[in-house]
Structure 1
């Protein structure tokens, strides 16, 4: 059970009447700063530490490792970086009686739990380590697939039989109920596989406040707290479009603090951060993170559905933002699954082009390379020639760097031999290859022909395809395994609701004429508009918002779907774009369906995660009312 006496989140004093769960986000991914657990474990006012170590990219790699284990029985399929971050914090976690829940178990939570169990003993503590399973639904998925289930893609709505590759594993996004049960059964550390990014916060809040599975308003608030906290310093100034003035000029850019949520018994919460660290928390940084990786006005989770278009944010003191107004609805009877397949091999090679005639130089490289490939061109499933700097250089450049562009030749193939991955099936070592075809034309190539001398990227490496679909929760074998050898089944929710696959989408009602505010200045949209974008599989979300309430009518009137397509220009794929508004946050949100060339695992784009879609749109010229522009730029 949760302790009966807790520390007050504001003052640090004991308070029996106001129970506040203080939970800290200590990792947004496998490459986050390792200091987080060690530093936050020293703060006895923090009750729970949680972290996210799994991305769609890591899911595919670990899923393939799990599927390939027969060939290498010693291979692990969990995130070892968590172990490195945990070690120096173990004694403080034990001394301060903190709890921890992480998804670092990836595709092998039991194996990781056993490693952590031994580790805490080695450090002389009695911390109890439990784990949650059930996210591996490969067997159930395969059975359903063989029975004719189509598993339509969430981004494209196409049937999986059109995918063209063979699935090797399927992983379901679990909720927080298993984590709550582990904590209720006395666990100090809970190791999970693929739970939803926000699930540890939902589970910790369920445990701490003793919520039921039908406390939808409370659960929905906790879900959004988890959404805001799970990317660590993204909410404390990381990726923030106001970084110039609010971080650089104010000297708060160094060592951004990790975020802390203070969740009350009714679900409402405050987002704050470490006191003795850099970064900032304000309505704008929280809005930016709220708009990241959402799909529409409904935020789905296997525990609860949150309606977010009526959320309210308010400053609650220095580096504190209070969040209210989340509407809780029953969860759907399904949850999301990620399906991994081996896509083949990919490689790339770079050439540097300088000075005049850039388009013609690119054309020469392309034609000579394709001629070298001959009939082997048909063996490439992807072959692109991409130029940075829009294929041009500055007029009368001041130095050679500003006169140089990067030509990237990117290839994918299911044939390992032509991707230089080594001889296969008795193929001779001198078999023609992607790298050879690209390089052999140097001496007959463009003026100044210069390849990048590090050719390691030209050697093919495996890549994976990733398919996102829905899966029935009642087909998942969700279990919690205790530190003392018991297994507790986690039943699917009994109260659910069906939701349409297509979320609400609309252009603004009653748009105002864009000359309503008087004279305008033609300037980049991002001079007065903040934003954030990101990926979910091959979908890309884009959220844009303004600083001042009187700018809202201009923003919503300007940013229609057709206007976004105009701003995207050549980047517009012609596929569906959804749009909705959050007036309380002065925000417009777009979901660009199937925009990212199959997603991060297999994309041929530079922007594999969709994070620069926002920055591209913000740099486009629009007519900004002079009265707004003269207030000063972001």
Structure 2
């Protein structure tokens, strides 16, 4: 049932599996909350949980959450805070059982519900997904709403969208239905802002040197209203800051075009309006929603084989000649060549360095094969055997190893009507959640050109792009996005005219031969670039220097461009 409040406070205490352990207790003791959410899942996490489940079918959920509840479940009950997390992973039922056992042990009458139906592994072949290790559809927020409506104190889910952890509580609090598209879209935006924890309060923020306190960042809170508008804030006295900038940065994280597709609503990111309405308070208004697509995205992970690597240090003069010599000798000495072999020379050295580390580069050789014997210890031991017979100054960063399994993430899509979205209530009754009756075709976003106008900006100076532009980058499978924003209308006009796809390829030569899409978000004074295949087959398979593209935006900010002298902002 809807609660009698004009505003509900939804906090977040986890942005990934491994986030700050004490954040749950800190959020519960730091101030008032109605709901506390936690995001524990990512594409790589699903692979990790899938491997756990292979070893023991009783596992497959985020065990960290259970340990957090040992000290915080009673506190949440005492404060009337309902908890919603996706820590159920591949086994939400197993986590629900473990939570009930914990509640009994603690003497608590805790009502636990779980949401499942996302796991399609038993139907993967018939749905055309082959034989993956994991296959999970991204569910929406109405299963969570149903559980909260029936009085659940804790709701654990499998693979729902990250924003659904916020959409579900908001829909329960205000009695929303599928037709409340604008309100749902507003909740999706609020959920996207808080889902990554401290990234909304100054973490990974391009202009971090401008923030007064970066010690022990607080976690974010969304104060949602019945119309879907919200204010993003944090508990008083915690570190970091909530500003238009920190919220903008998080909004640009891991997105594509202006239409943000979800199971309950397609959110128009180009309708968002942000405003600083107080210290550590940013309002989000004007968000519009459209019908959701007829399909659900599916997270597919496949075990692809074994990976091993050798990293050797090259110091001083003749770096490239040393690298060539070692590569030639190593290839000749290998007992058997693996299916895939990749070499990468990282020139971290600088001339006339006053430290040995500063004079050194790294040469990495990565091998992959379905046969562990081809990439096991004999592979890495080959480098050791060359120790006294190769270039001067030879050394390794690590001893020989046996290699580790690696996986590949690919997205899939399935008709929403074919997925049995279920919620099992505290009394054991299981209810099926129908998909949105509004689902249908969604207009595809198209890559947008630069502005047609060409302003005379007067004199310019050569300086890093990051002097005026912030950036946030991240990964989605093999694709990366870089969202850039500025802080005035004039600066956005200049950015829009200057930063073409061709210019980005010029500034980032590693992506010059790849497909790059460009999307404008004028309300946020932002442009988002989506770079296809820069991360290969995803983080678990990728051996790129920055496998999740977390630093790619900062690399772009460091590149020098001609900035109008009228923009004298210095970071």
TM-score range, shorter chain: over 0.9
Question: For residues 146-165 of structure 1, what are the structure 2 equivalents within 5 Å?
Answer: none
In structure 1, the partner of 2:18 is 31
Change (3 A) 1:87 1:2: farther
How far residue 22 of structure 1 moved from its aligned partner, in angstroms, is 0.2
Q: Distance in 2 between matches of 1:392 and 1:256?
A: 32
1:329 aligns with 2:274: no
1:21 aligns with 2:8: yes
Asked if structure 2 preserves the Cα contact closer than 8 Å seen for 1:358 and 1:392, the reply is no
> Which residue of the other structure, out of 384, 397, 408, is the alignment partner of 2:353?
397
Structure 1 residues 47-84: Cα deviation after superposition (integer angstroms, max 9, x where no partner): 00001001101111222443x36xx45x5111101112
1:228 aligns with 2:193: yes
1:510 aligns with 2:441: no
In structure 1, the partner of 2:339 is 380
In structure 1, the partner of 2:183 is 218
Q: Distance in 2 between matches of 1:230 and 1:392?
A: 35
1:592 aligns with 2:531: yes
How far residue 44 of structure 1 moved from its aligned partner, in angstroms, is 5.9
Asked if structure 2 preserves the Cα contact closer than 8 Å seen for 1:113 and 1:191, the reply is yes
1:303 aligns with 2:292: no
In structure 1, the partner of 2:545 is 606
In structure 1, the partner of 2:369 is 413
Q: Distance in 2 between matches of 1:259 and 1:289?
A: 11
Structure 1 residues 219-268: Cα deviation after superposition (integer angstroms, max 9, x where no partner): 0000111100000000100000111232xxx3x11100000000000000
1:347 aligns with 2:300: no
How far residue 573 of structure 1 moved from its aligned partner, in angstroms, is 5.4
Asked if structure 2 preserves the Cα contact closer than 8 Å seen for 1:511 and 1:556, the reply is no
Question: For residues 546-565 of structure 1, what are the structure 2 equivalents within 5 Å?
Answer: 546-565=486-505
> Which residue of the other structure, out of 501, 506, 509, is the alignment partner of 1:566?
506
Q: Distance in 1 between matches of 2:343 and 2:326?
A: 9
Q: Secondary structure at the match of 1:350?
A: strand
How far residue 367 of structure 1 moved from its aligned partner, in angstroms, is 1.1
Change (3 A) 1:358 1:44: closer
Asked if structure 1 preserves the Cα contact closer than 8 Å seen for 2:492 and 2:525, the reply is yes
Structure 1 residues 301-360: Cα deviation after superposition (integer angstroms, max 9, x where no partner): 101110111211000100000011211111111111011211000112221111111111
Q: Distance in 1 between matches of 2:46 and 2:266?
A: 24
Q: Secondary structure at the match of 2:330?
A: helix
In structure 1, the partner of 2:384 is 439
TM-score (norm 1): 0.88
How far residue 126 of structure 1 moved from its aligned partner, in angstroms, is 1.1
> Which residue of the other structure, out of 125, 132, 145, is the alignment partner of 1:167?
132
Q: Distance in 2 between matches of 1:297 and 1:328?
A: 11
In structure 1, the partner of 2:168 is 203
Change (3 A) 1:43 1:524: closer
> Which residue of the other structure, out of 413, 421, 428, is the alignment partner of 1:478?
421
Asked if structure 2 preserves the Cα contact closer than 8 Å seen for 1:22 and 1:261, the reply is yes
In structure 1, the partner of 2:103 is 120
Asked if structure 1 preserves the Cα contact closer than 8 Å seen for 2:266 and 2:291, the reply is yes
Change (3 A) 1:44 1:522: closer
Asked if structure 2 preserves the Cα contact closer than 8 Å seen for 1:581 and 1:588, the reply is yes
Change (3 A) 1:448 1:578: same
1:103 aligns with 2:97: no
Q: Secondary structure at the match of 1:286?
A: helix
How far residue 210 of structure 1 moved from its aligned partner, in angstroms, is 0.5
Asked if structure 1 preserves the Cα contact closer than 8 Å seen for 2:263 and 2:292, the reply is yes
Q: Secondary structure at the match of 2:365?
A: strand
Asked if structure 2 preserves the Cα contact closer than 8 Å seen for 1:355 and 1:404, the reply is yes
Greater shift in the superposed pair: 310-319 or 75-84: 75-84
Q: Distance in 1 between matches of 2:186 and 2:418?
A: 27
In structure 2, the partner of 1:455 is 399
Greater shift in the superposed pair: 35-44 or 480-489: 35-44
1:626 aligns with 2:565: yes
Q: Distance in 2 between matches of 1:26 and 1:490?
A: 27
Q: Distance in 2 between matches of 1:346 and 1:449?
A: 23
In structure 2, the partner of 1:317 is 278
Q: Distance in 1 between matches of 2:394 and 2:514?
A: 38
Q: Secondary structure at the match of 1:142?
A: coil
Q: Distance in 2 between matches of 1:396 and 1:627?
A: 38
Q: Distance in 2 between matches of 1:357 and 1:337?
A: 49
Q: Distance in 2 between matches of 1:183 and 1:393?
A: 57
1:87 aligns with 2:70: yes
How far residue 398 of structure 1 moved from its aligned partner, in angstroms, is 1.7
Question: For residues 364-375 of structure 1, what are the structure 2 equivalents within 5 Å?
Answer: 364-373=325-334
Count matched residues.
571
Structure 1 residues 507-532: Cα deviation after superposition (integer angstroms, max 9, x where no partner): 1231415xx22111111111221010
TM-score (norm 2): 0.97
In structure 1, the partner of 2:485 is 545
Q: Distance in 2 between matches of 1:497 and 1:476?
A: 16
In structure 2, the partner of 1:489 is 432
In structure 2, the partner of 1:288 is 249
